[in-house]
């Protein structure tokens, strides 16, 4: 059998060496041989067993797997969701909407691997090519006709979907994407005249309008699917959707204008797959966004919002969303992600400028102690606008107990994660559970 992990090699197997961003399979060729590999496929070198030299071993793997699983690929249509923000929410909404309308759809992404329900967690948002084909095969064997796949920037950079044929590809936005090339390139993997769904309000939208695709723009202004008359609350969103000379009011059971854009991808996908618009709208009230993505809690006349946002751009985006519907002061609770970096300093400046008060606490700290990371974040910040509470659970408790009428507490960085890392030690703590626990005590 062909193996890409040397530890999995058994006598008689072929080992294929892949180059990654942080590691190189060529460094493990001898281990594979020691484990019994009878053949090596590599981009260079001479070895004591049969050796096949290929300039691009990942391309070789893509062709090999494409041929091996060709019958499975014929049974399933693949929908790719890429972009800088909103991929998980968009993919999960699409997965739900198709299943709610009797199209049997699987999901692969940051939430895990879902068939009818969650099957298991995944190590990567976009699995490696070998694992991805195995998951596609598993879905096809269970008679799933559709699969929604999240495409992370790292996954695209590492060629994890090379050769995968897509029927629909969607771009949420290009926030936080430094290099667009891989994201544009994957739109070339659409089947001929496949549907490309593109956020028409993104500054880079025109770069994704490739001639061989059926390009569909959505958003505000001069687009195919036009949003207008947006009304937002902390628990719902209402808007008018206009296309093909008709207009429909749609109410979503979750907040945020960004989620209107995420929902539109799911809506248009369902339309392109033959679901009637009335059926889509009828099943919309049953949709849910993933835990920890703009998740809102109420405390008397104040509110708590949990979100994964952790980069400066993501933070600016979520604050912008919250301020569209807030009436009072904004408190932000956030911690460092484990690097004494310029980005951490920028995060500190961003939250200080956007909030009325900031609580700095723990999140992830590995080689550098949490206290040092936080001190790095707050350096040169006005001391009257923040406080430091190292215990994240205590920080959440204090922030909730001090909330006043119409104030919003924005708890950022971790979403529904169940563990934080403090000074290289895994500690069980979930922001959502901590919030629910404290609200029950009030």
Chain segment 420-431, per-residue pLDDT in tens:
989 888 999 999
Strands 39-42 and 50-53, by their bridges, are: parallel
**Helix H or strand E encompassing 240:** strand 237-243
Q: What CATH number corresponds to the domain at position 22?
A: 3.40.1390.10
Q: Which of 286, 313, 338 is the last residue of a domain?
A: 286
Mean pLDDT on 205-223: 97
- Beta-carbon neighbour count of residue 380 at 10 Å? 8
Query: 337 pLDDT band (50/70/90 cuts)?
Result: confident
Dihedral (Cα; 90, 91, 94, 99), 10-degree rounding: -150
Which residues, including other chains, have CB under 8 Å from residue 31's CB and lie 6 or more apart? 6, 7, 9
Residue 205, pLDDT above cutoff 80: yes
Q: What CATH number corresponds to the domain at position 416?
A: 3.90.190.20
Query: Quick one: pLDDT at residue 174?
Result: 96
**Helix H or strand E encompassing 214:** strand 214-219
**What is the per-residue pLDDT across 273-324, written as a single tens digit (0 to 9) for each?**
999 999 999 999 999 999 999 999 999 999 999 999 988 999 999 999 999 8
Query: Quick one: pLDDT at residue 351?
Result: 96
In a domain, 95, yes or no: yes
Q: In this structure, what are the phi and psi dihedrals at residue 143, rounded to the nearest 5 degrees?
A: 65, 30
**Helix H or strand E encompassing 194:** strand 190-199
341's tokens: 């970096």
Mean pLDDT on 255-262: 96
Query: Quick one: pLDDT at residue 442?
Result: 66
Q: In this structure, what are the phi and psi dihedrals at residue 67, rounded to the nearest 5 degrees?
A: -70, -40
Cα 297 to chain center, whole Å? Answer: 22
Query: 388 pLDDT band (50/70/90 cuts)?
Result: very high
188 and 309 co-located in one domain: no
In a domain, 272, yes or no: yes
**Helix H or strand E encompassing 120:** strand 118-120
Q: How far apart are CA 185 and CA 203, in angstroms?
A: 18
299 and 276 co-located in one domain: no
In a domain, 27, yes or no: yes
Q: Higher confidence at residue 338 or residue 108? A: 108
Query: Quick one: pLDDT at residue 389?
Result: 97
27 and 129 co-located in one domain: no
Q: How far apart are CA 413 and CA 311, in angstroms?
A: 9
177 and 326 co-located in one domain: no
137 and 262 co-located in one domain: yes
In a domain, 183, yes or no: yes
In a domain, 60, yes or no: no
In a domain, 198, yes or no: yes
Structural domain total, the chain: 3
Q: How far apart are CA 302 and CA 442, in angstroms?
A: 13
Mean pLDDT on 106-119: 96
Are 435 and 304 contacting, i.e. CB atoms less than 8 angstroms apart? yes
- The beta strand positions in 4-76, using DSSP E, are 14-16, 39-42, 50-53
99 and 135 co-located in one domain: yes
Q: What CATH number corresponds to the domain at position 233?
A: 3.40.1190.10
Query: Quick one: pLDDT at residue 367?
Result: 84
| Residues 64-71: contacts with CB under 8 Å, at least 24 apart | 64/2, 65/129, 65/130, 65/133, 65/163, 66/163, 68/133, 69/133, 69/136, 69/137
300 and 384 co-located in one domain: yes
CA atoms within a 13 Å half-sphere pointing along the CA-CB vector of 331: 22
Query: Quick one: pLDDT at residue 176?
Result: 85
Q: How far apart are CA 87 and CA 77, in angstroms?
A: 18
Q: Higher confidence at residue 184 or residue 344? A: 184
Q: How far apart are CA 414 and CA 364, in angstroms?
A: 10
In terms of residue numbers, what domain contains 399? Answer: 295-441
Query: Quick one: pLDDT at residue 441?
Result: 76
247 and 336 co-located in one domain: no
Mean pLDDT on 364-384: 91
Query: Quick one: pLDDT at residue 340?
Result: 67
Q: Which of 13, 29, 55 is the last residue of a domain?
A: 55
Q: Which of 248, 265, 286 is the last residue of a domain?
A: 286
In a domain, 267, yes or no: yes
How many percent of the chain have pLDDT more than 90?
87
Query: Quick one: pLDDT at residue 266?
Result: 98
Q: What is the edge-to-edge ordering of all strands in the sheet holding 330-334?
A: 295-299, 302-307, 408-412, 330-334, 357-360, 386-388
Mean pLDDT on 366-393: 93
In a domain, 61, yes or no: no
Q: In this structure, what are the phi and psi dihedrals at residue 51, rounded to the nearest 5 degrees?
A: -130, 135
Query: 327 pLDDT band (50/70/90 cuts)?
Result: confident
Residue 339, pLDDT above cutoff 90: no
The tokens 């008709």 sit on which residue? 246
Query: Quick one: pLDDT at residue 342?
Result: 80
Query: Quick one: pLDDT at residue 115?
Result: 96
Strands 112-114 and 118-120, by their bridges, are: antiparallel
Mean pLDDT on 88-105: 98
Residue 49, pLDDT above cutoff 70: yes
22 and 102 co-located in one domain: no
How many percent of the chain have pLDDT more than 70?
99
Query: Quick one: pLDDT at residue 361?
Result: 96
Q: What is the mean pLDDT of the chain?
A: 94
180 and 49 co-located in one domain: no
**What is the per-residue pLDDT across 2-33, written as a single tens digit (0 to 9) for each?**
999 999 999 999 999 998 777 889 999 999 99
430 and 337 co-located in one domain: yes
| Residues 352-356: contacts with CB under 8 Å, at least 24 apart | 352/381, 352/382, 352/385, 352/386, 354/315, 354/316, 354/319, 354/330, 355/319, 355/330, 355/331, 355/385, 355/410, 356/329, 356/330, 356/331, 356/385
86 and 227 co-located in one domain: yes
Query: 341 pLDDT band (50/70/90 cuts)?
Result: confident
Residue 398, pLDDT above cutoff 80: yes
Sign of the alpha-carbon torsion through 125, 128, 134, 140: positive
């Amino acid at each position: 059998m062909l193996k890409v992990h040397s530890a999995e090699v058994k006598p008689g197997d072929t080992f294929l060496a892949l180059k990654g961003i942080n590691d190189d399979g060529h460094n493990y060729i001898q281990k594979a041989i020691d484990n019994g590999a009878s053949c090596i496929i590599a981009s260079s070198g001479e070895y004591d067993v049969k050796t096949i030299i290929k300039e691009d071993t990942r391309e070789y793997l893509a062709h090999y797997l494409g041929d091996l699983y060709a019958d499975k690929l014929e049974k399933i249509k693949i929908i790719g969701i890429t972009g800088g923000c909103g991929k998980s929410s968009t993919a999960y909404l699409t997965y739900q909407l198709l299943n709610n309308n009797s199209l049997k759809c699987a999901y692969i992404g940051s939430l895990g691997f879902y068939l009818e329900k969650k099957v298991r967690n995944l190590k990567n948002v976009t699995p490696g090519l070998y694992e991805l084909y195995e998951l596609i095969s598993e879905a096809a064997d269970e008679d799933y006709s559709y699969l929604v796949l999240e495409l992370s920037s790292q996954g695209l950079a590492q060629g994890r979907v090379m050769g995968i044929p897509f029927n629909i590809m969607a771009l949420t936005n290009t926030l936080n994407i430094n290099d667009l090339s891989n994201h544009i390139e994957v739109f070339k993997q659409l089947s001929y005249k496949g549907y490309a769904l593109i956020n028409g309000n993104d500054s880079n939208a025109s770069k994704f309008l490739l001639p061989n695709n059926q390009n569909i723009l959505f958003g505000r202004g001069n687009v195919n699917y036009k949003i207008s008359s947006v009304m937002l609350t902390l628990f719902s969103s209402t808007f008018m959707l206009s296309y093909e000379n008709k207009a429909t009011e749609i109410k979503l059971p979750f907040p945020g204008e960004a989620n209107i854009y995420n929902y539109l991808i799911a809506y248009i996908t369902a339309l392109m797959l033959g679901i009637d618009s009335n059926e889509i709208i009828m099943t919309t009230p049953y949709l849910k966004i993933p835990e920890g993505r703009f998740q809102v809690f109420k405390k008397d006349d104040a509110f708590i919002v949990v979100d994964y946002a952790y980069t400066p751009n993501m933070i600016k985006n979520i604050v912008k969303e919250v301020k569209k519907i807030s009436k009072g002061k904004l408190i932000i609770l956030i911690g460092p992600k484990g690097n004494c970096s310029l980005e951490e300093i920028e995060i500190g400046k961003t939250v200080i400028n956007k909030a009325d008060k900031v609580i700095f606490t723990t999140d992830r700290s590995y080689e550098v102690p949490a206290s040092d990371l936080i001190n790095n974040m707050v350096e040169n910040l006005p001391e009257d606008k923040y406080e430091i509470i190292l215990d994240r659970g205590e920080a959440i408790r204090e922030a909730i107990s001090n909330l006043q009428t119409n104030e919003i507490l924005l708890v950022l960085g971790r979403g529904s994660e169940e563990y934080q890392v403090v000074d290289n030690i895994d500690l069980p703590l979930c922001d959502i559970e901590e919030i629910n626990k404290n609200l029950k005590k009030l």
